[in-house]
Structure 1
Amino acid sequence: MFSRDIGIDLGTANVLIHVKGKGVVLNEPSVVAMDRNTGKVLEVGHAARRMVGRTPGNIEAIRPLKDGVIADFDVTEAMLKYFLERINVRGFFSKPRILVCCPTNITKVEQKAIREAAEKSGGKKIYLEEEPKVAAIGAGMDIFQPSGNMVIDLGGGTTDIAVLSMGDIVTASSIKMAGDKFDQSIIQYIKREYKLLIGDRTAEDIKINIATVFPDGRNEEMDIRGRDLVSGLPRTITVNSKEMNGALRESVALIVQAAKSVLERTPPELSADIIDRGAILTGGGALLNGLDQLLSEELKVPVLMADDPMQCVVKGTGMMLENIHKIAKD
C-alpha cells in the first residue's frame, strides 16, 4: 500500500481534501472542540461545529485558522492529523506529498507555519500554492495562455483577487474581508438596531437564507431568536433582505474597492482580455445573493460565478497534483 498525493484547501471556514485518483474525499468545517482542562481533542469538523456557542465552561470549540492563516498552531496540527487519519492516505512505507493552498499576501512566517503543520500531521513533501491561482484552475480557466484571467476568491477569512496570465499572478490583492466578517456585520446590525444578541450560527443562517447585497436582489423575511440585551430574556424578531443589504453594504464595498485596485494595476492588454472574458467568482462567499451582479455593475466587466464555487480551490489542487512533477523540483 503506497501513499497518495493529496491536495488541501486549508480554509478559515472549511477544510477540503482531494486525494489523487479519488477526487474530493473530505469537506468539513475548520472547527475543533477541546477540553480546556486536559487539552484533549474531543470532536473535529461537523460534530465540533454543532458545539459552537453551546458548550459548558470546560469545553471550547476553537476555529484554529483566522483570516486565512494559522492562529493556533497546535490545534491546526491536531485537526489536520485527525482528517488525514480519517481518509487513510498514509502508506506503510511512505508518507503522502501534500499541496496546500494559502492566501497571496501571507508572510514567510505564516507560510512556514502552514508547511510545518502539514509536515507534522504526516506529510512527506509540502508544496504551497497561492489560492487564486489554484481557484482559477479549478474553475476551468486556462491560465497558461498569454491572456488575462481575473479571479475573485471569497473564502471565510480572506478575499483573494488576482489577474493571471502565462500560468502566474500578474497583479493581486488579498484582504481580510470575507464570509466571517459578513456574519459579524449581521450580528452588529441586529445588536445595534434591535438590542438583540445572536450567535455566529444564526448570523450565518441569515446570510445564506435571506441576505442580499444587490438592491432588489431578493425580498424575503426570517424569524430569528436571540437574547434581549435589555431584559436578558430570549426574544424573537423578524428581519428582511432589505435590512441585510444595508447591514452588509460597508463590508462588500471593501471587496469592490480591492477588485478595482487590482484592475487599476493591470497592464492594459490584459485589461482588454478581462472585458471580453469577464471575472470568475469562486469560494463559499461567492454564493452570497447578488454579489456577482453588484461586482459586474461596479467593475464594468462581466462577473460570472463558477460552477460549484466552494470546491474550485480543492478541485484545482487535484489538477495540479496531476502535474506535480512541474512544481516539484526533485
Structure 2
Amino acid sequence: MDVVAFRTDLGIDLGTSSILVYVKGKGIVLNEPSVVAIDQNSGKFLAVGEEARRMLGRTPGNIRAIRPMRDGVISDYNITERMLKYFISKAIGRTLFKPKVIVCVPSGITEVEKRAVLEASNHAGANKTFLIEEPIAAAIGVGVDITEPNGNMILDIGGGTTDVAVISLGGIVISSSIKIAGDECDNAIIRYLRQEHNVMVGERTAESLKMNIGTVYPREKEVYMDVRGRDLVSGLPKTIKVSSSEMLEAMAEPAEHIVTTIHSVLEKTPPELASDIGDRGIMMTGGGALLYGMDKLISKKTGIDVHIAEDPIGSVAVGTGKALDWIHLLNSDSIDSESINMDKR
C-alpha cells in the first residue's frame, strides 16, 4: 500500500462563524458553525458545531455556548485548539501520520495572532501548519489565475471580517481588512429592533432576519417576516412584523463601512491595476456575498461590475485546499514570516 495514503493533507477555513475543512482529493468534507458548548463545572465539551449553535442563548447556568473566534482571530486559545482537534479528527478520522495543514487568516492579522493560529493548529494535531491570506485563498478558489500580471480585486465578506485586496503576480498589492462583516450586520439589526420596536431579539433571530429579508439595496418588492422577541416595556414575549425596508435602514451603516473600505483600496491602487479591475470587475466571496443587494450597492457606488462567486461560502476553503498542491514549495525552512512555519517544539 502506498505510504502517502496514510496521511491526509488539509485546508482549513477557520472563520468567525463557521469552519470549513477541505481534504486533498475529496473537496470540502465539513462545514460547521465554529461554536462549542462547554460544561462550566467539568470543562467538558458537550457539543460542537451545528448542535452547539442551536444552544446559543438557550443554555442553563452550568453550560456555556461560546464562539472561540472573534473578528477573524482567536479569542479563546484553549477552546479553539480543542475545537480544531475535534474537527480535524472528524474530517479525516485516524491516520498513521499527522496531516500537513494550511489555515487561512484575514489579511490584516498581526504576528502575535498568526502565531496563535499556528500553535493552535500544531497542538491540535497538525504535523506542520502553513498560513495563507484569505483574499489569496478566495482568488484561487474562484479560479482566478493569480500568477498573471493582471489586477484582480477580491472582496471577502465573512462573519467577523471583511477583506478587500488587489492581487497581481501571486501576491497582494494592496489590501484592507475591517472587523465589520456578517456579525456586525446581526448586531445592527438587534440595535435597530431595540430602538424602533422596543423589542429585544437574540443573535440567531437577527441572523435569520438578515438571511431571509435582509437587504442593503432597495428591493423591487417589499417582503415581510414575523419575529418574536421580548418586549422591553412589559417584559413579555411579543411578535412584530418586520419589513425589508426596515432591514435596509438597519444595515445601512455596516454596508456603508464596507463600501468605504473598497473605495479607499481603489484610491491606493496603481493606475495600471485599477484599469484591469475596471475591465474585470470585483469578485465577491464569503457569506456576506449572499446578502441581497450587496453587489448592486457596490456597483452603484464604485461604477465597477461586481461578480458573485459560484460558491461564495466555500471558495476560501477550496482555495486553501488547492494551495495544498504547492505545499512542497513551502517546505523549505528558509520561508519568510509571511507564511511562517513552526516545527513543533
> Which residue number corresponds to residue 297 of structure 1?
300
Task: State the Cα distance separating 1:171 from its structure 2 match.
Answer: 0.4
SS class of match (1:55):
coil
TM (norm. structure 2) is 0.94
1:306 aligns with 2:273: no
1:68 to 65, 72, 75: 72
Taking only the aligned residue pairs, the percentage that are identical comes to 55
Q: Given residue 61 of structure 2, which amino acid in structure 1 is its aligned partner? A: G
Distance 1:44 1:267 in 2: 45
Q: Given residue 90 of structure 2, which amino acid in structure 1 is its aligned partner? A: R
Change (3 A) 1:17 1:220: same
> Which residue number corresponds to residue 6 of structure 1?
10
Distance 1:290 1:218 in 2: 13
> Which residue number corresponds to residue 98 of structure 2?
95
Q: Given residue 2 of structure 1, which amino acid in structure 2 is its aligned partner? A: F
> Which residue number corresponds to residue 118 of structure 1?
121
Task: State the Cα distance separating 1:89 from its structure 2 match.
Answer: 4.9
Distance 2:25 2:92 in 1: 14
> Which residue number corresponds to residue 53 of structure 1?
57
Task: State the Cα distance separating 1:2 from its structure 2 match.
Answer: 1.2
Stretches of structure 1 that go unaligned for 5 or more consecutive residues are none
SS class of match (1:318):
helix
1:192 aligns with 2:195: yes
> Which residue number corresponds to residue 28 of structure 2?
24
Contact kept in structure 1, 2:281 and 2:307, CA below 8 Å? yes
Q: Deviations over 1:86-107 (max 9, x none)?
A: 1235522x21000000001111
Q: Given residue 232 of structure 2, which amino acid in structure 1 is its aligned partner? A: L
Change (3 A) 1:266 1:61: same
Contact kept in structure 1, 2:13 and 2:19, CA below 8 Å? yes
RMSD: 1.0
Task: State the Cα distance separating 1:329 from its structure 2 match.
Answer: 2.1
SS class of match (1:162):
strand
Distance 2:33 2:62 in 1: 21
SS class of match (2:150):
coil
1:145 aligns with 2:148: yes
Q: Deviations over 1:18-51 (max 9, x none)?
A: 0111111100000000011111111000000010
Distance 1:225 1:215 in 2: 24
Contact kept in structure 2, 1:2 and 1:90, CA below 8 Å? no
1:154 aligns with 2:157: yes
Distance 1:240 1:327 in 2: 51
TM (norm. structure 1) is 0.98
> Which residue number corresponds to residue 44 of structure 1?
48
Contact kept in structure 1, 2:287 and 2:313, CA below 8 Å? yes
> Which residue number corresponds to residue 221 of structure 1?
224
Contact kept in structure 1, 2:102 and 2:321, CA below 8 Å? no
Distance 2:142 2:260 in 1: 23
SS class of match (1:323):
helix
Contact kept in structure 2, 1:64 and 1:71, CA below 8 Å? yes
Q: Deviations over 1:45-98 (max 9, x none)?
A: 000001001110110000000000000001101111111111235522x21000
Contact kept in structure 2, 1:292 and 1:303, CA below 8 Å? yes
Q: Given residue 228 of structure 1, which amino acid in structure 2 is its aligned partner? A: D
Contact kept in structure 1, 2:214 and 2:247, CA below 8 Å? yes
Task: State the Cα distance separating 1:143 from its structure 2 match.
Answer: 1.2
Contact kept in structure 1, 2:12 and 2:321, CA below 8 Å? no
Paired residues in the alignment total 329
Contact kept in structure 2, 1:90 and 1:96, CA below 8 Å? no
1:34 to 34, 38, 41: 38
1:108 aligns with 2:111: yes
Distance 1:14 1:37 in 2: 26
